[in-house]
Every structure is written in C-alpha cells, then in structure tokens.
Structure 1
Amino acid sequence: MDSKKNGNKMSRREYLKTSAMGTAGLFFAPSIVPASVLGPNPPSEKINIGQIGCGRIARGHDLMETMGYDVARVVAACDVDIDRAREGKELIENYYAKEKGKKNYVDVAVYQDYREMLQDPEIDAVIISTPDHWHAQPAIEAALAGKDIYLQKPASLTVEGGRAMSDIIHRTGTVFQIGSQQRSVNPWPQFKRACELVRNGRIGELQSVEVGLPGDPGGGDPTPMPVPKSLDYDMWLGSTPDKPYTEQRVHPEEGYSRPGWLRIEQFSAGMITGWGAHHIDAAHWGMGTEYTGPVEVEATAEFPTDDPNYDGLWNVHGDFKVTAKYDNGVIMTVGGDNKQGVRFVGSEGWIYVSRGDVGVTASDPVSEQKQTESFQASDAKILQSEIGDNEIHLYESEEQHGNWLKCIKSRELTVAPAEVAHRSCSACLISHIAMKLPRKLYWDPVNERFKNDDEANSMLSRSQRAPWGIDHIDGLKL
C-alpha cells in the first residue's frame, strides 16, 4: 500500500515492522533545517540551549551541571506550569549573574509550549527533563526541528515510542545523550571500571548479573482538586487518558519534592524504569549487550491494586523479581531481593558496583540500606588489575552533560546514544510487561516483538489521546 497516495499516517505497528534497527525508509519534513546540515559546529561560539521541563531534576541536576560549562548558554525555559518556567528563568539568570559577574548576561525566554521554543532558530539544543510520558514525543520533534538533545531517562514509556525516537534521531544526525550518568566517570568512576573488568574476563566467563532495585509503596489521595491557573493540565496529561486533577497525580504546587506521577502507571512504569534504566544499562554495558536485549523474560510483582479494597492513587509496582535470559546464556535477575546496585558473577569470581552511600535517591519513600562500599570483588586483586593496551577499553566520558556538549561540537556519538538508551529502556519495559502476565515471554530483540504472544505485543504501545502522542506529530509520515 502506498500511504503517501492515500494520505494515511503509518501505524506504530507498521513502523516497527519496517524499521528494525533503524534501517527503514522513513521520510520526514522538518520545518527547520537540522543543525547537522549546517556543518560540524553550531553557528555561534556558544551552544544556545533551551530547557524543557523546569522541575526537580532540571533544577537540581540538568541545569546546574550544564551551565557549569562555558561553552553552554541556556537561553530559554519551558514548562507547562508557567510558574515553574518563570522560576526556571530566575534560577538561570541568577546563576549566570553570579558566575559571570554580569547581571544581564542572558535574558531567558519563557515558554509554556515547547513547540514554540523549537521554532527559534537561535536555539541549538534542548534538555528534556519532563515526566516519562513526555519523553519520546518532544525528543522526536526536537530532532525534526534540528536541535541536539539531552534527555532524562527513561528513553520512553513504550517500546514502540523508543524505537521511533531512536530511528528519527539517527536519520536526522541529532547528537543525543540519555541521562545515564553511571556511564561517565564523574561522579561514579567505578561503573566504567567494573564493566571493563568484566568485559576483559577478570571474573572468568560471565554467568549471571544481579540487579538490586526496590519497589514503590501505594498511597496518594485521588480526591479531585481545582486545576492551578498556572498549569496547562490538558497538555501535561498529553497522550495519556483524561483524569481529574489532583496535586498528588502531578507535582507539588509549591516546592520541588518528589512528584506523584512517578508512582502512577499512566505516566511511569515505576522503579523498573525509574532506576532500572540506570542499573540495567550498567548491566548491559558489562555484558556487552548494549544493542540487543533478552530473549526470555518472566517476572512476579506486587501491585497496590491487587488488594480489592485499595483506594489510593499510586499504582506502580511494589516488590518484584524479574528473570531475563540473554542470547549469550547470561541470566539477569532484577528485584528487591538483590543488593541495591549491580553484581556480575563469573566462573572465576564476582564484581559488585553501586553508587555507595547515595542510595537509590534521597527523596524516594523507601528504606535504603546505606552502603559505604561501592566497588567490591570476590578477590580484591581483581579490582587492581590493569587493562592492557590490546584489551577492551570502554568509552571514556568525564561527565554526562559535558560529554554531550563536546559531541555537539564534534558531531560524534555520545557515551549514551539513542539506540543504547532505547535498548536499556526496552529491557525495563518488557520486564514490566512480564510483571503483568503469568508466563514466560519469548522476546525477539531484532524485530522487537514477543514470539507468538499477541497479548504481550499489544502492550508494546499505548493508545494516544489526540492531539498528543507520536501518532500526531506533524511531518512524521511516509
């Protein structure tokens, strides 16, 4: 069928069938010429950056770590909550006034709709620090608009959304970085070191990987509330179903503590993607499976809604266990029974790595055992082993945001590019699907479909509420 003749947009499932590993013939019509067409560097000496999403992660992490590089200049702030966008502007301008000694170093533009920001030809790149259900769509639209992208993890809320995003980013030549900071040596050099030791056989033949992650508790008040005047709630919901507003469904109306959407399946898969995107990514790095995924997966999980009398708002998974088998025979288990972090087990020893006493995240409402030892092995001599010149040396990135900025200038791949981001996320998402189904699932990582399981395959995507979602992106068509 010639979709161009009948005017139909390609369905997500058709897209998957024709785009395995990003080799399909997808055509797009961006309204702005991609930056990659203009040459190896942005037109100005500085990289002009727009911030999409001005909440907790943006303020405490992405903005501050990016603005510390002189080559970066944040010139715009956007949030569907206009008060947050204005507070983002204030944060940025105050930072530059202090660091540069110039009160008017930059006049930050404020937006409530990121699509308007993307139309500014002076903006070279964007940082996307939005809720999980607002990751794939703005990343695709930013790539089509010629902007380089730093995206907070996880890469997407669905496998099909992540596949579409990765393919578009590769086709446009966009420089993309996922916020998987454990790949950079600052502040956690132990992850790269652990993965290099495993990849070079210091624990013998790798047999299994144990990933420790907690679950989230139930709770939350579902009582409807008036929508704040500052919030475009319809856009915040985006492609997800229309639900009554309540503060604990979205984010705090005052302050920037942990938002409620992280615990609601409508917007997030829970800790399996929230922190699984970090630790499973590290597991993939050590296994050498960064561009593939498991071939078998099965899981058990507790959900608050398993209790018929549950009347809370939050419904992501609690305690869980995932068992996944990779084509190389390695078995990966993920869950709360494992020690928080990643443990590689080989035929001749083991290596354990974590963030040490950081815990999963300081504001998560789960009890965490503080761990001062972030890098351990069955034999201390393993950790002191030198990697020879002719052995495997993994990508050296000093810091995640700095690596992204450096690659914008050089047009090289980042330490955590789009396909790697998608594969780490998809391993989490198919684990989440397995939590819902009482059977072993067989995954085809090339075609990214479950084998002979229509019910599981139906969960690779979600229905999308118009006019939001990747099905409704202008210019994304055959």
Structure 2
Amino acid sequence: MTNSGRSSFINRRDFVKTAAAGSVAFSGFPSIVPSFVLGKNAPSNQINIGQIGCGRIAQTHDLPETFKNKNVRIVGVSDVDRSRQQGCKRLVEGWYAKRDGGSRSVDIKEYDDYHDMLANKDIDAVIISTPDHWHAQPAIEAALAGKHIYLQKPTSLTIEEGRQMSDAVQKAGVVFQLGSQQRSMSPWPQFKKACELVRNGRIGKIHTVKIGLPFDPAGGVSTEMPIPEGFNYDMWLGSTPYVPYTIDRVHPENPHDRGGWLRLEQFGAGMITGWGVHHIDIAHWGMDTELTGPIEVEATAEFPTTGLWNVHGKYEARARYKNGVEMLMGDYPNGVRFEGSDGWIFVSRGNVGVTASDPTSGDNKAFQASDPKILGSEIGQNEIHLYASPEQHQNWVECIVDKKETISPVEVAHRSCSACLVLHAAMKVPGKLYWDPKKEEFKDNVEANKLLSRPQRYPYGTNYVQYKKG
C-alpha cells in the first residue's frame, strides 16, 4: 500500500471553509442517498457498513455487536496490516455463512487504504476502530464523504484535532456515535441509573466526584526490528514522527491482545484518555456538564524512566467545574463515585468487561450507595429521565434509520475527551491551570497551550485532510 493513489490534499483553512458551507458532496465524493431512506420498496433497505481498523476492539467488540442488527450489512474491511485485514474478512464472511446456513457465499471487499472505502458510494457508514492517533482524521474524512460514523474512543490525539472533528461532523450532518458504551443499558444499566439518581437529587447537592482508573505498566523493548511483510508502517505512524519499528511499539501478532501503542505518548495519553474518557463521560452525565469542561485543573503523575513505554503511571488530579463540583482522580477503586450533601453513589463495570483484556474490578460490587434504599429509588414521571439506549451500536443504527441524535453525539464525545487531555496537560505543567471551556485554551499559560496541538507529519493529519477525485 502506498500513498500514490491520493490525488489531492486540502489544508485546514480550505477544509474549514468547505465544511462551513455545509457541503458534504465534497469534490471527490458523490452525493450519497443511503438505501434505507428510500423506504420499504427500495432495492435494498439495509445499511452497508465498512470497518476501518481490524484489531482487538473491532474483532471482539465492534463487529460482534454490529452483527446483531438485522438491517445492517458489513460489506468491507480496511487495515494497514494485511494479516489483520484478512483475519477480519474471514471473521465477517464466517459469521454470515453461519447465519445463512452456508446457503450463499459472501465476499467481503478488502481495502488496503480506507480512502478507497470512503469513495465507495455503496457504503453508507463506517466503524472506526483504529489506534488513538488515527481517530480524528478518518472521522473527518468520513463526514466529508457523507458516511455515518461509529468511532472508538478517545475522539482525538489533541484538543485541536477534536475540535476540527466535531465541527466537521456537525456541519456534515451525519450520524455520529462514540464507543462510550457505559451509557447504554447493555451490558451496564447501572451507569444510567446512577446518573439519573444523582441528577434527581437522591444524594442531595453534589459536591465531589471521585474517579479511579487502572494504570499502565512500564517496560517495552525499543530494539529496532524488520517491518513485517504486508504492514504499511509509514501509514500506521500517520501524523506522528517516524520512529523505528519494534513490535512493542505497535501491536502483537495476536489481534486480540493489547497493543504497545496504548502505552506510548506518541500515539496517545495513556489511561487518562484510554479509560478516562469512559469515566469522565459518566461524571459529566451525572454532573450535567456534557457540553463544557473544567475551569481549573492541577495534577501530578509518575512517568517511567526506563523502557520503551512512557505514558503516565500513578497520578493524582483535581478539576473544578463552574457549578462548583470538584472531580478528583487517582488511586480510587476503578469506577465513579458521586458524593453529595445527603450521601454517595458508586458505579463501575464490576467484573464485566468488553474484551478479554479489559481491566475490571474483579467483583460484583458495581453499584453501591451510602444507603441501599437510594439504589432502589424510582425515578418519577415528572423527574429527569436520561437518554435510554439499549446498546451502543444498536442505538447508532437506529439513529441512522430514524435520523436522530445518538446517546453519545460528537460534541459530547469531544468534551469528555478534551477534559482528559486538559488533565494530561496538567500532569506536564506544574501548578494550577485555568481552562476556558468556551475558547478551549488555557488562560495566561503559554506552556500549557503548546500541548493543545502537535506537529503533523505530512501528508497525514487533520491539517492535511485527504480526498480522492472521482
């Protein structure tokens, strides 16, 4: 796979101008009329979906959950690692063959370059299950191509990228869903119930939220290794600097194992975004701060001094919001604890994970309160009832059909990620930082504001959004 097939580039200024005009029929893409909008008499009323990224989360979570929806069809897969791409193709074809009793053959199209997938007018939507540094760019390009988007968290590598992506998706008018599945009823109904109880005053006036996250280990071997055959390593690095290939920097041969990129700041911020997006998203839901962010933050963190992996280890962080609530993060039980004037509620995943490699608390104490009666409290008809989603992927599909907003729309998704990135900046810059959630910049702190964006390695990155001419 090479970049020779890309005929044109646009810079950020041109992209913003185009997006602002509300045009999704961008010069390289035909106008898309998904089959389902034509009604029951259409030649096909199914939603055709392409899978971008074919690793652990795609094969063990995103695809299996999407398969459960009867009116969708996975029609293509794309990955820069051809072995993973072919494994994903076999997975999808095998599933359909089993479902149909082997009555018909299925041929899933492979794309070495996802831009070719986005140019396919027969594809209505894409699932993006790539590493963190490859989230914002394909999401922007999918929006410009008129594709509906399911994006794994976190939304972006930087706050600037996240803002570009949110603006592009909103202006394109496509249906966006973030993989923040703790909001949906399956498999964890306790998160919605906890937030409803908090929002309806069952623990009095909320004043503190405590969040516990797992930590990443130090380690990793940095010795350069030959790049595997069939792996487009240059494209995998994307907008980040070129560094020698080593398996601990990328991903293991087993596509179901966690990749080393999760533990490298070149490709992400570590657990503060990896799991922090999940828990801060729930905190925002319960605090009613989904479309804003903290106004004051400070943090300290331990960073490895040996080995390849360099994301934060143990840390302590504090964030204060305009409504007066303080959010504390550190060595607490894995989950979210809301504390109010009349009691507290703790909610977590318990011992239920999404993938086999997910860290869990190892017990069933996923929903607790200072008084057990709080948990059984019914939400009255005239009280606050939060958005009810049966399952994250199902909600996305239903919203595509019904042309409605999902439970995790793009701006809410961006704000949960940006809060994490603000705290990550506080780990790097000593002292108290003051954040302006409207301008999305730190007040009077040049060093902290330098962390809002990163240089991008041309031709990759959101500043060089790429498209193909038809």
Give the TM-score, by structure 1 length.
0.91
Residues 1:468 and 2:460 aligned together: yes
Amino acid at match of 2:55: G
Alignment match, 1:190: 190
Residues 1:415 and 2:412 aligned together: no
**Whole-Å Cα distance in 2 between the matches of residues 182 and 263 of structure 1?**
23
Q: Which runs of 4+ in 1 moved over 6 A?
A: 24-28, 36-39
Alignment match, 1:338: 332
Alignment match, 1:445: 437
User: How much has 1:268 moved relative to structure 2?
Assistant: 1.4
User: How much has 1:107 moved relative to structure 2?
Assistant: 1.2
Residue 193 of structure 2: SS of its match in structure 1? helix
How do residues 382-461 of structure 1 correspond to structure 2 at under 5 angstroms?
Answer: 382-461=374-453
How do residues 86-105 of structure 1 correspond to structure 2 at under 5 angstroms?
Answer: 86-102=86-102, 104-105=104-105
Residues 1:54 and 2:54 aligned together: yes
Amino acid at match of 1:70: K
Query: Residues 146 and 377 (structure 1 numbering): CA distance in 2 closer, same or farther, change over 3 Å?
Result: same
**Whole-Å Cα distance in 1 between the matches of residues 149 and 435 of structure 2?**
29
1:96-147 CA distance string (max 9 Å, x none) = 1101223535310001110011111111000000000000000000111111
Residue 54 of structure 1: SS of its match in structure 2? coil
Query: In angstroms, what is the RMSD of aligned CA positions?
Result: 2.4
- Answer whether contact 2:263 2:270 (CA < 8 A) is retained: yes
Residue 387 of structure 1: SS of its match in structure 2? coil
Query: Residues 8 and 138 (structure 1 numbering): CA distance in 2 closer, same or farther, change over 3 Å?
Result: closer
Alignment match, 2:3: none
Give the % identical residues.
Answer: 60
User: How much has 1:256 moved relative to structure 2?
Assistant: 2.6
Query: Residues 92 and 39 (structure 1 numbering): CA distance in 2 closer, same or farther, change over 3 Å?
Result: closer
User: How much has 1:227 moved relative to structure 2?
Assistant: 0.2
Match of 1:351 among 345, 350, 356: 345
Alignment match, 2:357: 363
**Whole-Å Cα distance in 2 between the matches of residues 116 and 154 of structure 1?**
24
**Whole-Å Cα distance in 2 between the matches of residues 339 and 361 of structure 1?**
20
Alignment match, 1:32: 29
Residues 1:316 and 2:311 aligned together: yes
Alignment match, 2:110: 110
Give the TM-score, by structure 2 length.
0.92
**Whole-Å Cα distance in 1 between the matches of residues 460 and 323 of structure 2?**
39
**Whole-Å Cα distance in 1 between the matches of residues 38 and 312 of structure 2?**
44
User: How much has 1:215 moved relative to structure 2?
Assistant: 1.7
- Unpaired segments of 5 or more residues in structure 1? 1-6
**Whole-Å Cα distance in 2 between the matches of residues 39 and 363 of structure 1?**
36
Residue 316 of structure 1: SS of its match in structure 2? coil
Alignment match, 1:82: 82
- Answer whether contact 2:249 2:260 (CA < 8 A) is retained: yes
User: How much has 1:32 moved relative to structure 2?
Assistant: 2.0
**Whole-Å Cα distance in 2 between the matches of residues 328 and 212 of structure 1?**
22
Residue 201 of structure 1: SS of its match in structure 2? coil
Alignment match, 1:3: none
How do residues 237-252 of structure 1 correspond to structure 2 at under 5 angstroms?
Answer: 237-252=237-252
Farther off after superposition, 377-386 or 352-361: 352-361
Amino acid at match of 1:452: D
**Whole-Å Cα distance in 2 between the matches of residues 256 and 332 of structure 1?**
33
Residues 1:289 and 2:286 aligned together: no
**Whole-Å Cα distance in 2 between the matches of residues 9 and 149 of structure 1?**
22
Query: Residues 420 and 62 (structure 1 numbering): CA distance in 2 closer, same or farther, change over 3 Å?
Result: same
- Answer whether contact 2:60 2:355 (CA < 8 A) is retained: no
Amino acid at match of 2:313: G
User: How much has 1:380 moved relative to structure 2?
Assistant: 1.0
User: How much has 1:371 moved relative to structure 2?
Assistant: 2.6
- Answer whether contact 2:222 2:249 (CA < 8 A) is retained: yes
**Whole-Å Cα distance in 2 between the matches of residues 169 and 317 of structure 1?**
31
Residues 1:273 and 2:265 aligned together: no
User: How much has 1:360 moved relative to structure 2?
Assistant: 9.3
User: How much has 1:388 moved relative to structure 2?
Assistant: 1.1
User: How much has 1:459 moved relative to structure 2?
Assistant: 0.6
**Whole-Å Cα distance in 2 between the matches of residues 101 and 360 of structure 1?**
28
Residue 358 of structure 1: SS of its match in structure 2? coil
User: How much has 1:83 moved relative to structure 2?
Assistant: 1.3
- Answer whether contact 1:36 1:172 (CA < 8 A) is retained: no
1:449-473 CA distance string (max 9 Å, x none) = 1111111111111100001001111
Amino acid at match of 2:318: T
1:20-58 CA distance string (max 9 Å, x none) = xx9x66777352245479994697311100000000000
Amino acid at match of 1:396: A
